[in-house]
Amino acid sequence: MVEGLSSLKTRSSQEHNQIAGFEYSNKINRAEQERSARLIAQEGNYKTITNELEKNGLFGEQIKRVKEQVFVGFLTPENWKMLTTLELFDKSTFEHSVDTYHIARNKIEKVLDGQVIIAKLIEQEGVTLEQFYRACLFHDIGKVEIPNFLINNKLTDRDWVDILCRMVCDEHNEELSRAVMKKTGLSSGALSDEEHLRAVLAEKHIRAVKLVPVKEALTGEEIEELKVRGFSPDMSLGKILEAHEEASERILLEAQLHIEGKLVGQHHNYKGKKIDEMEIPIATSSLCISVSLADVMHLADVQQALEQIRSYKTKQSKIQVLATLVHQAQLGYVSEYITYLWVSDEMKDVSSEELESEDNKADLLTIRALTERYHTA
């Protein structure tokens, strides 16, 4: 009897070790598959990436892993492949996209300003809520075609201003100086005053990242990779990143997501058209979606990005974020009324300490200039 028990105990221990070894081996295999999939996701072309993931049989396990991170009930199998591709390319961009969807969904399903429910306005445009939410989730899918070292660049806005001032004030770079003069309205002689230049850039909300050639912040290897992707190193980082909007639209249209593609193709308004210059649609059958729908997506996108901590920036306060949204509306690139609905709702969550802080005084004046105008209209 003793020998039988001893034998049983030994066999049980061996089986346990075999199971543990099998689980460890599976864990290693899963980790290797994920590493391989993430490498493929850096190849720079959406179709190439998805074809390679399919060919190597990597989608199944990766989709399963992504589904454990987020629940979105309306996505099709092809939608899950798209979302998984985004997660494999860059986890931060994936998380930003999911958060943008949640922010937008929460906002549009609420009653705003006592009577407005944006979700109903969306449906009146002939767009289903699922189509709108899908557009929110995939508004940044085109970023998979931009080198990851640019998506996650660690230079802050101040770093880019430092580079701009060096090139303009110290090195007198002619091409950049002309661009700065055009943007700021400053004369050539005024560019030698670095302190004044910095003040004007801040006052006019002009970001140096949209003016400085990106090559000033890249290694030789990164410059060559950029060229392979079809981008000139003389372009600004801001200009290169803008390419993701058009790429996102193209990817969604090719996936037969026409409404989503048109919405995504407008959400940043990179073409710089003011609201009154844009063609407001008569019928959704032409797939020309009202700009106000793209504005909702834009506001959720920008708010999430500004509230997020990244390697190159700190998290902004609620007041700073809302003032930025209002400023964009003042420039005419986002609907003022939609911005009013959005911002007035967000202001309900602002603490009394923030409202009374001297540091927030200027931003609060900016916000109130918009909210009071519409509230009394």
Q: How far apart are CA 186 and CA 114, in angstroms?
A: 46
Same domain as 203, residue 105:
no
Mean pLDDT of 321-345: 89
Amino acid in position 214: V
Cβ atoms 53, 40 nearer than 8 A: yes
Please count the structural domains in the chain. Answer: 2
**Hey, what are 220's tokens?**
């030789």
Q: Do 207 and 73 have their domain in common?
A: no
Residue 246 pLDDT level (bands cut at 50, 70, 90)? very high
Closest C-alpha to 369, from 349, 344, 346, 333: 344
Residue 24 is part of which domain span? Answer: 2-118+130-144
What is the spatial distance between Cα 203 and Cα 108, in angstroms, rounded to a whole number? Answer: 32
Question: What is the distance between the alpha carbons of residues 377 and 375, in angstroms, rounded to a whole number?
Answer: 6
The pLDDT value given to residue 65? 96
Whether 329 is in a domain gets the answer: no
Task: Tell me, yes or no, whether 58 lies in a domain.
Answer: yes
Tell whether 32 and 135 lie within a shared domain: yes
Q: Give the end of a domain, one of 174, 208, 228.
A: 228
Is the pLDDT higher at 199 or at 297? Answer: 199
pLDDT in tens, 97-117: 999 999 999 998 988 887 888
Is 189 domain-assigned?
yes
Percentage of the chain lying above the pLDDT 70 cut? 84
Residue 281 counted as domain residue: no
- Tens digit of pLDDT for each residue in 316-329? 788 999 999 999 88
Task: Tell whether 57 and 164 lie within a shared domain.
Answer: no
Long-range contacts formed by 319-326: CB under 8 A, 24+ apart? 319/350, 319/354, 319/357, 319/360, 319/363, 319/364, 319/367, 320/360, 320/363, 322/346, 322/347, 322/363, 322/367, 323/362, 323/363, 323/364, 323/366, 323/367, 325/299, 326/366, 326/367, 326/369, 326/370
Which residues are within 8 A (CB) of 170 and not within 5 positions of it... i.e. 6 or more apart?
A: none
Give the model's pLDDT for residue 124: 82
Does residue 139 share a domain with residue 96? yes
Residues 6 and 138 reside in one and the same domain: yes
How confident is the prediction for the chain on average, in pLDDT? 85
Same domain flag for 194 and 138: no
Whole-number pLDDT of residue 13:
60
The two structure tokens encoding residue 319: 């007041």
- What pLDDT is attached to residue 4? 58
Separation between Cα atoms, residue 86 and residue 166, nearest integer Å = 36
SS3 310: strand
How large is the average pLDDT for residues 322-340?
A: 88
Please report which residue ranges of 116-236 form alpha helices under DSSP H: 118-124, 129-137, 148-151, 157-165, 174-184, 194-203, 220-228
Q: Which residues of 330-355 are buried (b: 16+ CB within 10 A; e: fewer)?
A: eeebbbbbbbbbbbbbbbeebeeebe
The residues, any chain, with a CB within 8 Å of residue 329's CB and separated by 6 or more, are 335, 336, 339, 340, 370
How many helices (H) and strands (E) would you count in the chain?
19, 0
Query: How far apart (Å, rounded) are the C-alpha atoms in residues 127 and 136?
Result: 13
Does residue 280 lie in a domain region? no
Q: Residue 366: what are its φ and ψ, rounded to 5°? A: -60, -45
Q: Taking the complete model, does pTM exceed 0.95, yes or no?
A: no
Among 228, 248, 275, the domain boundary falls at: 228
Amino acid at 185: G
Q: Which of 14-28, 48-62, 331-345 has the lowest mean pLDDT?
A: 14-28
* Per-residue confidence (pLDDT) for residue 307, from 0 to 100: 82
pLDDT band at 204, cuts 50/70/90? confident
30 lies in the same domain as 108: yes
3-state secondary structure (DSSP) of residue 283: coil
Examine residue 341 and state whether it is found in any structural domain, yes or no: no
55/76 same-domain check: yes
CB atoms under 10 Å from CB of 177, counted, come to 18
Confidence band for 279, pLDDT divided at 50, 70 and 90: very low
Question: CA dist 219 to 75, 147, 165, 186, 215, Å?
Answer: 40, 13, 20, 32, 8
CB distance 295 to 339 below 8 Å: yes
203 found inside a domain: yes
> Based on the domain organization, do 135 and 160 belong to the same domain?
no
Indicate whether 100 belongs to any domain: yes
**Is pLDDT above 60 for 369?**
yes
Give the amino acid at 358.
E
Confidence of residue 64 (pLDDT cuts 50, 70, 90): very high
Residue finishing a domain among 207, 228, 249 = 228
Give me the pLDDT at residue 291, please: 58
| 89 and 38 in a common domain | yes
Does residue 216 share a domain with residue 152?
yes
